[in-house]
Structure 1
Amino acid sequence: MNWSMYTADRSTHLKIVVVGLFAALVIAVIGIAATQLNLGTDVMTAQGPQVYKAGQPVVMTVREGTTIR
């Protein structure tokens, strides 16, 4: 009767733990490999960052009051 977690024997619990650890390992390996994978982004970053220079200062006003007439 290994259909419930309460009535499962020791080997069933061990199998569940092993499968969970294996799944965590696979996810970790995929995450590490994805950070090291180069999908051609070096071509875009080889041009260097674009620098935006600030323009003239701008004055902005906000009118958020009620007008009593």
Structure 2
Amino acid sequence: MNHSICSADRATHLKIVVVALAAAISLAALAISSHITADVASDKITAVITAGKPVAMTRTDLTVMR
């Protein structure tokens, strides 16, 4: 048995491609089947968030004077 992919024959390369393709298809099918549909945004009323007062941030607890 040869463990090197470089010196493998054509049948071995074909087997690797088939196994990889089957794994990719099964993973994609699993991902599509487990996808949860999102709620439509137009069905919900969203709250409007407004900005508050500006705040000056410092690294110390001292009061900032402007």
TM-score range, shorter chain: 0.5 to 0.7
- Distance in 2 separating the partners of 1:59 and 1:26: 53
6 and 49 in structure 1: CA distance in 2 versus 1, 3 angstrom threshold: same
User: Could you tell me the TM-score, scaled by structure 1's length?
Assistant: 0.57
User: CA-atom RMSD, angstroms?
Assistant: 3.4
User: Could you tell me the TM-score, scaled by structure 2's length?
Assistant: 0.59
Q: How many residues are matched?
A: 59
- Identity over aligned pairs, percent: 36
Of Structure 1 and Structure 2, the greater helix share is in: 1
- Is there any run of 5+ residues in structure 2 with no aligned partner, and where? 59-63
- Is there any run of 5+ residues in structure 1 with no aligned partner, and where? 43-47
